[in-house]
Amino acid sequence: MGRMVSRRAGVAYVMAVAAATIWLVAPTRAAPAATDGMRAHVPIVLRLGSPRTPLKHIVFFVKENRSFDHYFGAFPDPTNALDQATTAKCARGGGAITLPMGRAPDPMPQDVAHNNPAWTTGSHSGAMDGFCHEGGAIVKETGQDIADTQMQAGQIPNYWAYASTYGIGDRMFASWRGASFANNVFAVAAQSGRYSTDLGRRAIYGIPKGGNAGATWGCDNNLKTTVSMIDLTGKLSYVYPCFRFNSMPNLMDAAGVTWKYYGTKSHFIHSGISAIESLRCAPGQKPPCTGANPYWDRHVVDSSNIVHDAQAGTLPAVSWYLPEETEHPPRTACAGENATVNAVNAIMNGPNWKDTAVIVWWDEWGGFYDHVKPPTGIGIDDGVTPLNDRISYGYRVPLIVISPWVKRGPLLDGGYASHTFYSHASFARMIEYAFNLGTLDAADDLSNYTADEPKPGALLDFFDFSSTPPKGKLILSTRKCAPLSPSQEWYVEHSDDD
């Protein structure tokens, strides 16, 4: 069973994990004369919550619904450092045809299905040739297969510039084989229910439906809102979308690690933390939690505040940035990239840049083609039948790491290409390592994996802390974006923001 650590139990938790404080042993500059030929060592205590590397600030940029090949399949890579594709396969008549991935429209004329059944369709039993058959893949009016398109030169130049200069991962897989909600929660809690005995090890399957699900997802939904869950046998059931398992803010609170969530309040569907009861609900409050909560208001602020805090040098140790421009089609990649550039420029121009890492990640594939077959999660958990093989893994999604401490690599402008396996549990693992924390006893704990399945890295492969920072600043300009048509605006307003 996972640790239960609410912010109100923080003191007790710190006492409980004090024994886990790491003692580092370092040689003295000059050993005493009588040491039996061995150098004397002085114990140095690294306390819970203390930075273990030069990184004092980690900022996670939350993005939506794009696959790796859709964004980076055509990314310039003359040394073939990345696993990319510019052609797609589409199942036809008992076989498959290979077709060039055309230029992606931006904005997209419509959304492509990306729920769990769409994942199954795209996979086509591992052949990776069913994306063209997902719902919405073909535009009825034109016949265009938008699921098998990709961004090409000039469409997302700033994302390509960040990847070429800093770091990109080509083995980042979504933790859940479906729509956003489970991955949003996974990204802050390293699980979506599987490790909770309170839930009977059920995991989030769908997105919140009914009630006021169009306005928010989590503990402030009204009681008519439910979300589907999948159990150990694959059976579906429904619960209120507010959960009692712990998340990274709980661990950070207990260790005195500061955090904020910069999220546009009118678009807080994809925050993940709003579905964690100990964070969203004030002490003594029962869901739906819509009353006063000074703790929440102190930590969760409007997304526009990130520019001010970055410029003022007041970024917390860990933060998440969820702007209105999420890149969920038909919202444009251009507008989402602009939001990223504005925030990154503010961080680079502020005093915190020298000890900051920005992690830009996408929650799931959005229905778009990727040629790499995802691995299968298995998992062990006290002998309980594993659930991971029913939920993990989703398709590859982009992962960009921006920091002065990113290694130099083989890409055009010295960018580093990481081939380590990552999942949404990697974000918890990075925070835990960077600030010397315990685990959530969920997918962030590598003891919960079998010997043969991939184990998510902590993003450390991207970094070189051995000397001076190898990378400088890259200040970029925003671009003018194509507007949405009236029909696209209507779609954004009335469709599920999954």
Query: Is the domain of 40 the same as that of 64?
Result: no
Q: How far is CA 86 from the centre of its chain?
A: 25
Range of the domain at 37: 7-46
* Domain assignment of residue 169, yes or no: yes
Query: Is the domain of 27 the same as that of 173?
Result: no
Query: Is the domain of 23 the same as that of 79?
Result: no
* Domain assignment of residue 457, yes or no: yes
Query: Is the domain of 434 the same as that of 318?
Result: yes
Query: Is the domain of 34 the same as that of 157?
Result: no
C-alpha–C-alpha distance, residues 370 and 454, integer Å: 19
Ranges 266-275, 311-320, 336-345: which has the least confidence:
266-275
When divided into structural domains, the chain yields a total of 2
Q: What is the pLDDT of residue 23?
A: 35
The answer to whether 343 and 382 have CB atoms below 8 angstroms apart is: no
List, for residues 44-69, the tens digit of each pLDDT value. Answer: 567 899 999 999 999 999 999 999 99
Query: Is the domain of 320 the same as that of 339?
Result: yes
List, for residues 321-371, the tens digit of each pLDDT value. Answer: 999 999 999 999 999 999 999 999 999 999 999 999 999 999 999 999 999
The values of phi and psi at residue 399, to 5°, are: -145, 120
Query: Is the domain of 338 the same as that of 462?
Result: yes
Q: Running DSSP on this structure, what letter comes out for residue 104? A: P
Q: What is the pLDDT of residue 101?
A: 98
Nearest to 261 by CA among 312, 321, 346: 321
Q: What is the pLDDT of residue 73?
A: 98
Kindly provide the b/e burial profile for residues 99-134, where b requires at least 16 CB atoms within 10 angstroms of the residue's own CB: eebeebbbbbbbbbbbbbebbebbbbeeebbbbbbb
State how far the alpha carbon of 440 is from the alpha carbons of 6, 72, 127, 413, in Å.
Answer: 12, 32, 35, 38
Q: Give the mean pLDDT of 14-40.
A: 36
* Domain assignment of residue 212, yes or no: no
Instruction: Give me the CATH number covering residue 388.
Output: 3.40.720
* Domain assignment of residue 305, yes or no: yes
Query: Is the domain of 16 the same as that of 83?
Result: no
Give every CB contact of residue 30 below 8 A, 6+ residues apart in sequence: none
State how far the alpha carbon of 157 is from the alpha carbons of 280, 365, 423, in Å.
Answer: 37, 20, 25
3-state DSSP of 137-151: CECCCCCCEHHHEEC
Structure tokens at 161: 């510039």
Strands 87-92 and 95-100: antiparallel
Q: What is the pLDDT of residue 471?
A: 95
Nearest to 343 by CA among 374, 368, 309: 309
The answer to whether 175 and 260 have CB atoms below 8 angstroms apart is: no
C-alpha–C-alpha distance, residues 240 and 351, integer Å: 43
Query: Is the domain of 293 the same as that of 425?
Result: yes
* Domain assignment of residue 422, yes or no: yes
Query: Is the domain of 39 the same as that of 182?
Result: no
pLDDT at 39 over 70: no
* Domain assignment of residue 134, yes or no: no
What length is written for the chain? 498
C-alpha–C-alpha distance, residues 446 and 451, integer Å: 10
Nearest to 110 by CA among 90, 140, 86, 70: 140
Query: Is the domain of 414 the same as that of 393?
Result: yes
Q: What is the pLDDT of residue 384?
A: 76
Region for residue 263 given its phi and psi (left: phi exceeds 0; alpha: psi -120 to 50; beta: otherwise): beta
Q: What angle do CA 127, 129, 130 make, to 5 degrees?
A: 110
Query: Is the domain of 12 the same as that of 81?
Result: no
List, for residues 213-255, the tens digit of each pLDDT value. Answer: 888 899 999 999 999 999 988 999 999 999 999 999 999 999 9
* Domain assignment of residue 202, yes or no: no
Q: How confident is the model at residue 37 (pLDDT cuts 50, 70, 90)?
A: very low
The answer to whether 377 and 453 have CB atoms below 8 angstroms apart is: yes
pLDDT at 265 over 80: no
**Cα atoms in the 13 Å half-sphere on the side-chain side of 32:** 6
* Domain assignment of residue 337, yes or no: yes
* Mean predicted lDDT score pLDDT of the chain: 90
